[in-house]
Structure 1
Amino acid sequence: MKRVIAGIAAATVTMTVTTSVAAAPVQAASADPVTALKSQFVAGNGVKFTDVATLVEFAGNTTFLKRTGSFQFGKAGIVASDVNAKRTSDDPEMPISFLGMLARPERTIRIGTTSYYSGGAWAPPKGKTWIKHPHGMNAGFSGWYGQLVNAAEPATLKVLITKGKRTGRTYTGTISFGALEKISPWLRNAGLTGLSNGDKAAVLRFRLTLGADRLPQRLTTVYPGSTHVSAAVAEDRHVSVETHYTAWGSRVSVKAPAAREVANMGKREPSDRGGGRG
């Protein structure tokens, strides 16, 4: 009888050790923000976000752009997005191109690499509401002035947590636009043209806070206004963009506008060109 009890005890210990060893990788994986993000990549699921862009200067701060949007996921990551943007300031110190391009609220639907633009400076022909571009910007003209860092991209999230100094669930650090451009499709498709050499050398400061689920919750980025928004913006002014991510894992369905409402862009250009940076 003693031998039977000893055998059961030994088996129990063995099972406990085996279970603990097997559970360790799972626990480690769940603690990794990039793995947590990739676990969200289920077709038809997504995340919602809001962001606010502010011009920071000695005399005070001016909020000039607000956006709401959502990302739809597939198995490999973001497959579609829907972004609504609204200019919130008529400050004459802002670039003329910004004031003109976002004189009206703008909406951009992007599916794959195809973008559909409505509002803003876009001027579809009579009877149409949208303009379609096969390789368009990810968020229309607001993309150049809104959040340039997309924490819903695995490679981008990885570099933020790798380069950032961690305090609790918050990571703070810096990264150049050039380094970010190499890994981020979101940044590469933010504007009409690619980054200039001066833009690539510019340094962006970030502060990323994760939720208890290890997913991005809040991201704030700050960079010199003259390096990105407009050369007309003085060196002592900075742009600060704060983004909040919510409803991770919610159902998100981004659909293309009805074909009858869409005009192909072709050689058509915005009614107020002025360039992407002022």
Structure 2
Amino acid sequence: MKRILTGLALAAAATLVTATPAHAAPVNPAKALQKQFVKGHGVRISEKSRMSVDGKSLGTSTTTGRLEFGKSGIVASDIRTSSPKGSLSSLFAAPPRIISIDGHSYVQGGLYSEDLPDGKKWVRYNGQPSGSTYNQLIDIFEPKVLKLVLSHAKSSKSGLYKGSVTYKDLAKAYGSRLDGSFAKIKIDYALKTNSKGLITSLTSSWGLDFGILGNSRSTTETRYVGWGSKVSIKAPSKSVWIDVKDLGEDSDVPQEIPDNALKEIPEGSLNSLAN
């Protein structure tokens, strides 16, 4: 009898062991991202942004590109955007193509390619745009922004982080400030990660009632693929670009590149739209 009881105890113990296997703690996406910052490596992105007013679609903007990393983050990018008239991207005049490297941005297409001198195909601007794309309000490569969305996530099971933040909180993470009605708008998001904690997709959406102008809704889904792949981005040859300051004030080419990141929005400019 003692042997039987001993056998039953061992069997029960074995059952408990097999029924409750140890699970590794989920990898922190912020730490996983930090490890990707290796010179000469990067990630590819693809993105779709949809905007509607009163349920009527204004079209879909598509973005593709490559991001090159250094030891502390993005050092260069090559982004292409296609936007139908009336889309969110067209409202901010996102350049059809922009290469950013070494503190300069080289832009091509649309308004940026009109009436350029013979042989010139690109316009160079000082500075690099904030954010990896124009339509995605949540820039995962901004440490404070990523920390914000992770801390506000309601669930992180199976590598999925879902939550919402206000425009005010997001602007603060970017180092800016928003007040009034616009600041209260919620941005819903869903951030997915793989087993290594690397972000594979980010979907964000928000809505705003413009009164007689209609109720608008915007949704942007960004996918990240090829983490750690070799990326090498070069500036266009000097022979094919012209600096924007050399075009003159009468040129139809924009004097600066617009930026839709919240840290670049003048305080009060958006609040007037929401009131």
| Cα distance per residue 1:81-103 (max 9 Å; x no partner) | 1110012x346xx58x927946x
Structure 2 runs not aligned, ≥5 long: 1-23, 261-272
Q: Post-superposition shift, 1:152?
A: 3.2
TM-score, scaled relative to structure 2: 0.70
- 1:98 is aligned to 90
Greater than 6 Å deviation, 4+ residue runs:
194-197
Cα RMSD between the aligned structures? 3.5
Following superposition, the deviation at residue 66 of structure 1 comes to 0.3
Q: In 2, distance between residues paired with 1:213 and 1:270?
A: 48
How many residues were matched structurally? Answer: 230
1:238 and 2:226 correspond: no
1:137 aligns with 2:123: no
Contact 2:185 2:208 in 1 (8 A): no
Give the direction of change, closer, same or farther, for the CA distance of 1:173–1:271 in structure 2 (3 Å limit): same
Partner of 2:79: 83
* Pairing 1:78-227 to 2, within 5 Å after superposition: 78-87=74-83, 89-90=84-85, 98=90, 101=93, 106-122=96-112, 123=114, 125-126=116-117, 127-138=119-130, 143=134, 146-166=135-155, 167-184=157-174, 199-224=182-207
Provide closer, same or farther for how the CA distance between residues 67 and 61 of structure 1 changes in structure 2, counting only shifts above 3 A: same
Is 1:74 paired with 2:70?
Answer: yes
Q: Give me the TM-score of the superposition, normalised by structure 1.
A: 0.69
Residue identity in the other structure for 1:53: S
Provide closer, same or farther for how the CA distance between residues 121 and 138 of structure 1 changes in structure 2, counting only shifts above 3 A: farther
Aligned to 2:50: 54
Distance 1:64 1:176 in 2: 24
Structure 1: give runs of 5+ residues left out of the alignment.
Answer: 1-26, 189-193
Kept in 1, the 8 Å contact 2:50–2:58? The answer is yes
Residue 200 of structure 1, CA deviation: 4.4
For 1:37, what is the secondary structure of its paired residue? helix
Say if 1:48 and 1:248, in contact at 8 Å, map to a contact too. Answer: yes
Cα distance in 2 between the residues matched to 1:31 and 1:139: 24
Deviation sequence 1:204-251 (CA, Å, 0-9, x none): 11111111211111111111256xxxx699452200001111000001
